[in-house]
Chain A
């Protein structure tokens, strides 16, 4: 199986009722591992179905195939349904290229730094009132 890791840590959020997580992706997501790795995110979505704010750190993500794009789109749909948000930070150029060609950057904003992504994720305008 191709090597890939997904780790999750909390992001302090000031608004009540909001759960914010930093999700770090490492390695390569392909047909050999993506179904298994996707379960980690689905477990998170199940645990926090409402007001879940996710920052996907793609700095160490080297490759993602079309099925992982499909999962990303599905996560976006579920998080949005629950009044949450997803942003992506620090993508490598080849990953950004893939996200752009499939049109995902029209759904999910990508930021060059973690700080910019955190600000965009948790700015008051995007939080539930």
Chain B
């Protein structure tokens, strides 16, 4: 019989909520992960509806990169959601490093930084996901080489951010106009 004392309710409430998912490298499952992300953000965090959709895109882009570039067919990627109540959300995606293209964390960071430059001209169909969507909609984007040979990509978005003040209603009112900040 386990006699470990139960944690006080307050401690439990402040403890980050962590959910981990192992996903096979099959793009067909990604729609389910998008739906899960939307539901998680809507129901378990204080982020707005707009941010729920944004994180849907962020997770989709991170997972696609991990599947397409970071892992061979038949492998799995790991997705971790960490909700720091009243503070932030972290999402971590790890691949196995068995993909076709082997880039280091430093190289990935360099590529993203290069493509984030407003003067950079995107040519071609690909290459916008990390720099244009993930980097813009997160406060922290970090690449890390794993001892196993894979790569970990971690993003974090803080709840209290001036950018969060922009509500979806502005887009609904005037969808033909850009909202300049």
Chain A residues at the B interface, C-beta cutoff of 8 Å? 1-2, 28, 30-32, 63, 65-67, 69-71, 73-74, 91, 93-94, 96-98, 100-103, 105-106, 109-112, 116
Q: How many residues of chain B get a CB closer than 8 Å to chain A's CBs?
A: 32
**Are B30 and A31 touching (Cβ within 8 A)?**
yes
Given A101-B136, A112-B176: A71 and B57 interface contact (C-beta under 8 Å): no
In-complex Cβ contact of B133 among A30, A63, A101, A110 (8 A): A101
**Are A2 and B125 touching (Cβ within 8 A)?**
no
Q: Is B34 an interface residue (CB 8 A)?
A: yes
* A108-B8 Cα distance, complex, nearest whole Å: 55
Chain B residues at the A interface, C-beta cutoff of 8 Å? 27-28, 30-31, 34, 50, 53-54, 56-57, 60-61, 64, 67-68, 122, 124-129, 132-133, 136-137, 168, 171-172, 175-176, 178
11 intermolecular pairs with C-beta atoms under 8 Å apart: A2-B30, A31-B67, A32-B27, A66-B126, A70-B124, A73-B122, A73-B125, A93-B50, A93-B175, A94-B56, A98-B133
**Are B53 and A30 touching (Cβ within 8 A)?**
no
Chain A hits for B54, CB < 8 A: 94, 97
**Are B168 and A93 touching (Cβ within 8 A)?**
yes
**Are B31 and A2 touching (Cβ within 8 A)?**
yes
**Are A65 and B129 touching (Cβ within 8 A)?**
yes
Given A96-B171, A96-B175, A98-B133: A66 and B30 interface contact (C-beta under 8 Å): no
Given A65-B61, A65-B129: A2 and B28 interface contact (C-beta under 8 Å): yes
